[in-house]
Amino acid sequence: MEEISSETPVQMDNVLVEDLESVCEAQGIAWMKMPSGAGHDAMNMASLCPTGMIFVPSKDGLSHNPAEYTSMEQLMEGAQVLRAFLLKQAQILE
């Protein structure tokens, strides 16, 4: 084996994560905190600004794989969470 990447994990912004949780709760959407071993753009953005991530479930938990599948309903639910979160953030800035 050959290591091709080694990245230091980063912590997502606790306030944004709590805001995402509250959006899910307000919409009756089940949520859970979870670590991600994958390298996401969020890892780089976290050094520049408060950062969080929204994950949607994949069939059989299979992710970052050609066989990954997420239903349109779950994708829409994720988009609804993002929309509500952004609207909540915009009101904070007004």
7 lies in some domain: no
The residues, ordered by sequence, that sit 6+ positions from 46 with a Cβ below 8 Å of its Cβ are 10, 11, 12, 13
Asked whether 78 and 30 are in contact (CB, 8 A), the reply is no
Residue at 79 is within a domain: yes
Dihedral angle computed from the Cα positions of residues 21, 77, 57 and 71, in that order, rounded to the nearest 10 degrees:
180
What pLDDT band is residue 93 in, cutting at 50, 70 and 90? low
The domain tally of the chain equals 1
Question: Which CATH number covers residue 20?
Answer: 1.10.150.900
Angle at 49 between CA 44 and CA 55, to 5 degrees: 65
Closest C-alpha among 18, 7, 6 to residue 88: 18
pLDDT in tens, 54-88: 999 999 989 888 999 999 999 999 999 999 999 99
